[in-house]
Amino acid sequence: MPVQSRFSAIRNWALAAMMALTLAGCGVNTIPTLEENAKAKWAQVQNEYERRASLIPNLVETVKGYAKQEQDTLTAVIEARAKATSVKVDASTITDPEKFKQFQEAQGQLSGALGRLIAVSENYPDLKSNQNFLALQSQLEGTENRIAVSRRDYIAAVQSYNTEIRTFPGTLWASLFWKAKPMETFTSAPENQTAPKVKF
């Protein structure tokens, strides 16, 4: 085989190998990149839930001063907060469906209890006009909005990650190199699917 042909064959083989490695490398790096992005988004979700949990004691104390007879509602909020903060789902367990479901249910119960607490304030004009209560209520509303945004961002990040590890060539890299598992995402509770009844 002439030297020119041999050189040409080696060059073509080297180019093909470089292209294959480049294409393969893109897929291999995509999975951990998407995984880290989803974990970062999850950390932000947790951050917002922690912010909400830290606002609740002050809100409960403010309401307690005006609405002592609403002890059942106050107790329900305190218990729901305790349960919500005890269920931990960190970045290493967001692939565990059962843990994620427990976390979501606990946060849903806390949201419901807070909604009842805010509704109680409607019966107490002095409480409704209390500056501390109004400030806390405003902070909670803002936090609930931030929770919704953080959850949306997390859902989008998980969708990208889960799609990558379930489609070709990502599924190949996921099984060969990363042993990647799908991450869990939020679902809407059945009671949130029905429109509230409005009575006039």
Running along the chain, 200 residues long, what does each successive block of 10 average in pLDDT?
69 71 66 94 95 94 87 92 92 90 93 91 86 92 95 97 93 86 85 48
- State the CB neighbour count (10 A cutoff) for residue 16: 10
Closest CA to 158 of 100, 198, 81: 100
Alpha helices in 87-130 (DSSP H): 97-120, 125-128
**Tokens 């269920």 sit on residue:** 87
pTM comes to 0.79
Contact in structure between 183 and 90 (CB atoms under 8 Å): no
Domains of the chain (ranges, CATH numbers): 31-153 (1.20.1440.20)
Confidence (pLDDT) at 196: 46
Confidence (pLDDT) at 199: 43
